[in-house]
Amino acid sequence: MKNVLILLAQGFEAYEGAAFTDVLGWADAFGNERIRTVAAGLHREVMCAFGLRVRTDALLGELDLDPFDALAIPGGFGRAGFYRDAFSEEFLGAITRFHERRKPVASVCVASLSLGKSGILKGRPATTYLLEERKKEQLARMGALVQEQEIVVDGHLITSSAPGNAIDVAFLLLGMLTSEENAARVRSLMGMAGPA
């Protein structure tokens, strides 16, 4: 059994969060190893970027992070309050904890800025929302070596450049947690083509 913590900030993008829950849910149902996801945040209820309300499974501060095998963080919109949560001490502390234990940390789009803010991307290749120069400059100021790539995998860290990469990030995370063969099988069962 693998346990994955999905960290939800106010203003996160529902599509990006759903990529993790659906891929890992299919893997739990049809893959070669059980996978349990727990969606946590700083609030019992989180408002997504475009108004959908989501109830979290737990408050981050209530959880023992040690049993979790990986961390997944969907990105979101600043104007919807994303960075208030995503740059909070609790969020950054959780990211650092997973990184220190070399457990997979997968981020989608601007969630890479949380990784950068935590300090774990200093001197490491990473990407973020590439269509906005300001986001790339922000990540660079945090010490990351910004790459003009859709997805960057650096050891146990995954960063991506847009919401459209969320599914591929989720499959990469699944491959790290179980095996590439298992991830390919689940991708096939979901009727999704492989990355270009």
By the 8 A CB rule, do 127 and 152 touch?
Answer: yes
Q: Is residue 152 part of a domain?
A: yes
Model confidence at 195, pLDDT cuts 50, 70, 90, reads low
Q: Is residue 158 part of a domain?
A: yes
Q: Is residue 126 part of a domain?
A: yes
Residue 196 has pLDDT above 60, yes or no: no
pLDDT of residue 83: 97
Share of residues in the chain with pLDDT > 70 (%): 99
* CATH code, domain with 15: 3.40.50.880
Q: Is residue 154 part of a domain?
A: yes
User: What is the mean predicted confidence (pLDDT) over 5-32?
Assistant: 97
pLDDT of residue 193: 77
Q: Is residue 140 part of a domain?
A: yes
Dump pLDDT digits (tens) for 67-126.
Answer: 999 999 999 999 999 999 999 999 999 999 999 999 999 999 999 999 999 999 999 999
DSSP annotation of 30: H
Q: Is 124 helix (H, G, I), strand (E, B) or coil?
A: coil
Q: Is residue 194 part of a domain?
A: no
Distances (CA, A) of 101 to 66, 71, 95, 137: 9, 11, 10, 28
Number of domains, the chain = 1
| Domain span including residue 135 | 2-189
Model confidence at 194, pLDDT cuts 50, 70, 90, reads confident
Q: Is residue 180 part of a domain?
A: yes
Distances (CA, A) of 59 to 18, 56, 70, 91, 182: 19, 7, 17, 11, 31
Q: Is residue 196 part of a domain?
A: no
